[in-house]
Chains A and B, each alone.
Chain A
Amino acid sequence: MAYTQRFRKAGDASISLRASTPWGILDAILPQDHIVITPQRVTSPADLTRANLLALARLGGFTMVYLRRTGKYTLSGPDVSYWIGGGEGYPNPIVPKTPRSNRIRLGTPANLTTWLNGLFPVNGITLGTVTNTGTNTTGAIPYPAPVREALDDICQLTGAEWRINNDFTLDAGPSTTLYPLLPSVILSAEKASTEGTLRSVEAVQLEREIDASTTATRVIGYGSGPETEGGPVVRQVTGTPTGVRNVRPGGGTPDFTILADAAGIRPSGLMAHLTSVLNEYAAPDRTVRLTSRTFNASGLVRPGDRLWVWSPLDDLYDLANQITFRGQPAFPVRLRAAAVTTPITSEMGVYALINDGATIIDLSQWVEWEDGADTAWEVTPTGRKPGAANISTSTLVVTEGGSGSGGNRHSVASHADRSSSDVTDTTAGWTPVWTNLTVGTGGTPENAGSYVVDNDTGSMDLDVRVRLGNTGSVTGEILLAMPTGYQIRRTVGGGPTYGTWSGQAGGANVAGLVQFNSFTSLRLRTSANAATSATAPGTWAAGDPINISVRVPVESVL
């Protein structure tokens, strides 16, 4: 019996109509008709237009998909984001098979506007204001993928957030563009007041929660294998959680590892994905719930908005922020509203847009109002650390399925090939070191390969890569230093052609020598003493990758 708005998740609403509602009214409403809730009643018939009601619907509206009769009629359903799909477990609209922008399938980085122009409109949701973030991303959206998932992924990769407005438009852009960094509302236990440009909202019941049960130190994920080989790929990311003691009994740091579901993620994006997963688990979940009796509080705050919260004896403060509040210094913590639940009260108006507004029915007179109920809030903190950065999409989620960003916590990024932005892997135990790489026309090492677990041998295959600069001949040798026990073999760029594994490298830092002689031919030496290839140098096209697989004992990686 209330209207709940959520930040980057589907809100929902439920209203009840009295049993005395005429059948003619009830029969007129079908699931997927849109219900609009306005802050005041609109009485003039001339004002009852679709456009006008959507403009007035500051409190939003919902699409009725659920109807129950228990003496009275209950209409309920999700908010307007229903039209981009309910996410996992629900039918979803999917991305266009032929993207509206070709750039989605190109390998060159594209900005947020380009990406979203390729996706929208979807189910009547059109793009509103899209502000580029300055971060571009490449890749392809696989077909078929749910629109909501693709939207979340695009926003995550470009550092953007999105929201769907009540008029069926979607805004996207940097967090601080959608929601100002400087709060205009402060929540405290004090009575409501105006503090200069700040509006003070009284919190009746403040409840603070810190949950460290999911705080982790490491994430291991199995992703899809490389295109050239297939099979699972395993990687790990470790970190030091904040906000917890991080000491195990007897001393030392504990190990709490999350096994992340990363199926479908290509090796090149796996590290970035696991890093973002670990970020979500790197600190305890902090939740603040409060209720407010301040008049029209939900008119002041939308989900996603940043708020000051100041209740020092409830441990809600942040010494990094100093403002003047009620004549004295205050150190409020900056939180974001994740969900705002508003009771539907008798001064509001409820209207059914039948058949997309072809007919408009004023339901207000039959609604059972909830006068006197409090507005409930849920806000998620940025963390109470001094100097804590703004909340980012990866740390938004407080509890899975609870408040926070869209999608489940470690949602699987369906972005596949980010080949031109491979991540340098420095946390996986071994960083390939190349020497003499500038031989010929100069090249760049790309250490980003992936680990392929070989359960039979208890080893992992690490793909490392050399990309040569200019077209032209290359003379001489390129050297890859390897620790003892490592093996190498070649994988030639473009094709699933593998050589055989070399013998294990001998003493410490014995070189595996790699000599190129042509694009399709590669010779290896497994030790400094092995014979040098006598084949003449070959030629390469600019940017051709030369892949070398290195076999690594598992325990030396994890």
Chain B
Amino acid sequence: MTLTVGRVTGLHPDRDWERDGDFITLSGVFDTAVYRDEAEVDVRRMQVVNLANNPDEEFVPVRWASDPSIDGFYRVVDASVSALGPVRNGAGRWSLTLERSYNAANPRMETVYMAAVRANGLSITSTSSGALGAVPSIADTADIDTSNSQGSAGNFAIRACIGGNVLAARLSTLSAALRGSVLFSAGPGESAVGGCLVEQRIGSNWYPVVGRQPFGPLREWRISNGIVRLGTAPVAGPLSFELWRADTQTWNAVELVSTLFGISTAGASSVRANLSVIRNDDDAAVVRCDLGTSAETFAIRRGVTFAEIDSHSGLLPDLGFSTPTASAPLATATMGLRSGDINGDRFILASNQPVTNNVTTGTITRSGSGPGTYLVGAIYKGSAAAAPYTQAEVIADMFTAVWAKTRLVVR
């Protein structure tokens, strides 16, 4: 049975693993059951090496079906692989040294968050709600502690969300900035549920990127939180934004076009080889595309149904649906517009700076130059959306600027 360390799956450890106090040393080969070709082994070796010195994930969940006694959270002290050599199936060898965390099997976790109304040029000073943080739905909801909230009388609600998360901290209104923390418990099989990740396509397969080092240039990528994902299109088009349909268990995709990427017509492909991973943990996945002196940064947070595209470009970029549908301006017209229902779902394009809407082409254009943030959101079941993902709530989420980080704490 295979070993899973963080996002790395398909590890087949040798039998002679060693445990010394809090330290475990494991080595083995890549499991032939998941081995498809040599390119995949290359990717997996890169993943293993990236487990150590990962600036985003200090502790990773470890699970081994053959020996659940080691299941828990560990810090990867050392990770190494050996070159492709004369081993079975040419699969290569790996070796890991793991240090057990305190209460490794079922630790207490804390999501630290800071939130404020997103800085904007639209005179928005409060939002009607805001998703502050999300915890895995498998976590015992009775264990969730949202009592530490500094700076605002939070009115929190625990609500299930589409992708299997529980929104642990959701404000009824937000005007003044606040910070706080959410405590919960999660086992090694639970913590990454609904977590964010950066994925990369090598050949025809998608692989999670471990840490901030993708395998080779990051050409075909997507960032995902299990509810929505954004990335290079699976079909023609420069950028694809997708929403998970819980009822049909499929992704509902909408293609985006934008002068952000120098592409203004639908169907053109865009392959940028200079993307870099900025952040890649369960709380957020961020990649950046450098374009000369400007940069576009794509980010997704856990538990929300939108992505942020931060543009440092001094141009006047626009952003639109490649297949315009019956789009309509949002209630605040300079904020952006929404599409009509696409396969039953609805999509929103918005910005924190004033835009002009073109409802015919389904495009928004910044009214002023300078840095700004684009927001691409999705409304599950469109006009029939249910709380907490109605259109008004999704827009409120978009205009709640949140920084969050989850870490292990001592019980």
Contacts and interface: CB of A to CB of B under 8 A. Distances in A.
Contacts of B278: 326-327
Given A195-B312, A312-B112, A386-B177, A329 B371 contact: no
A386 B279 CA distance: 27
B298 interface: yes
Contact of A331 (B114, B286, B297, B299): B114
A354 to B, nearest CB: 44
B297 A319 contact: no
Contacts of B301: 328
Given A329-B401, A330-B403, A386-B151, A319 B288 contact: no
A329 B116 contact: yes
B284 A312 contact: no
A190 B55 CA distance: 9
A196 B114 contact: no
Given A327-B310, A328-B279, A328-B403, A317 B299 contact: no
B179 interface: yes
Contacts of A331: 114, 116, 177, 403
A329 B304 CA distance: 15
Contacts of B407: 313
Interface in A292-328: 312-313, 317, 319-320, 322-324, 326-328
A319 B299 contact: no
B260 to A, nearest CB: 13
Interface string A142-165: 000000000000000000000000
B200 interface: no
A329 B177 contact: no
Interface in A311-355: 312-313, 317, 319-320, 322-324, 326-331
B402 interface: yes
B308 interface: yes
Query: Counting chain B CB atoms within 10 Å of each CB, which of A190, A326, A327 scores highest?
Result: A327
B201 interface: no
A329 B118 contact: yes
Interface string A180-197: 000000000110001111
A324 B371 contact: yes
A320 to B, nearest CB: 7
B157 interface: no
A327 B288 contact: yes
Contacts of B151: 319, 386
Contacts of A190: 55
Query: Counting chain B CB atoms within 10 Å of each CB, which of A313, A319, A320 scores highest?
Result: A319
B160 interface: no
B299 A322 contact: no
B405 A312 contact: yes
Contacts of B179: 317, 319
A363 B342 CA distance: 73
A326 B371 CA distance: 13
Contacts of B308: 327-328
Given A196-B371, A313-B112, A320-B177, A328 B405 contact: no
Contacts of A312: 112, 114, 403, 405
A326 to B, nearest CB: 5
A331 B403 CA distance: 8
Contact of A319 (B55, B116, B279, B310): B116
Nearest to B151: A319
A196 B312 contact: yes
Nearest to B311: A196
A317 B114 contact: yes
Nearest to B313: A196
B178 interface: yes
A319 B177 CA distance: 6
Interface residues of B, number: 34
Contact of A327 (B294, B298, B402): B298
B357 to A, nearest CB: 23
Nearest to B283: A328
B56 to A, nearest CB: 11
A326 B116 contact: no
B225 interface: no
Interface in B72-121: 112, 114, 116, 118-119
Contacts of A317: 114, 179
Nearest to A310: B403
Contact of A329 (B112, B293, B294, B402): B402
Interface SS of A by simple majority: loop
Nearest to A324: B310
A331 B119 CA distance: 11
A319 B402 contact: no
Nearest to A327: B297
B330 interface: no
B373 interface: yes
Nearest to B119: A322
Nearest to B113: A312
A211 B297 CA distance: 39
B296 to A, nearest CB: 9
Contacts of B178: 319
Interface in B178-228: 178-179
Contact of A196 (B116, B119, B176, B295): B295
Given A319-B178, A331-B114, A196 B294 contact: yes
Contacts of A386: 151, 176-177
A141 to B, nearest CB: 46
Interface in B273-307: 278-279, 284, 286-288, 293-295, 297-299, 301
A360 B284 CA distance: 57
A380 to B, nearest CB: 23
Contacts of A196: 294-295, 312, 371
Given A196-B294, A327-B288, A322 B402 contact: no
A196 B371 CA distance: 8
B309 to A, nearest CB: 8
A327 B284 CA distance: 10
A326 B373 CA distance: 12
A327 B371 contact: no
Given A319-B151, A319-B177, A326 B286 contact: yes
Query: Counting chain B CB atoms within 10 Å of each CB, which of A194, A313, A322 scores highest?
Result: A322
B294 A322 contact: no
Contacts of B284: 328
A328 B279 CA distance: 10
A118 B308 CA distance: 56
A53 B155 CA distance: 62
A408 to B, nearest CB: 36
A184 to B, nearest CB: 14
B211 to A, nearest CB: 12
A317 B284 CA distance: 19
A230 B308 CA distance: 70
Interface string B297-333: 1110100000010101000000000000000000000
A386 B293 CA distance: 33
A319 B179 CA distance: 8
Contact of B405 (A313, A323, A326): A313
Interface string A99-112: 00000000000000
Nearest to B301: A328
A313 B405 CA distance: 9
Contacts of B405: 312-313
A328 B284 CA distance: 9
Contacts of B373: 324
A195 B286 CA distance: 14
A34 B404 CA distance: 51
Interface of A: 189-190, 194-197, 312-313, 317, 319-320, 322-324, 326-331, 386
16 contacts: A190-B55, A312-B405, A313-B112, A319-B178, A322-B177, A324-B310, A324-B371, A324-B373, A326-B279, A326-B286, A327-B297, A327-B310, A328-B286, A328-B301, A331-B116, A386-B151
Given A195-B295, A328-B403, 7 more contacts: A195-B312, A312-B403, A312-B405, A313-B405, A322-B401, A327-B286, A331-B177
The 3 closest A-B pairs by CB, nearest first: A327-B297, A329-B401, A319-B177
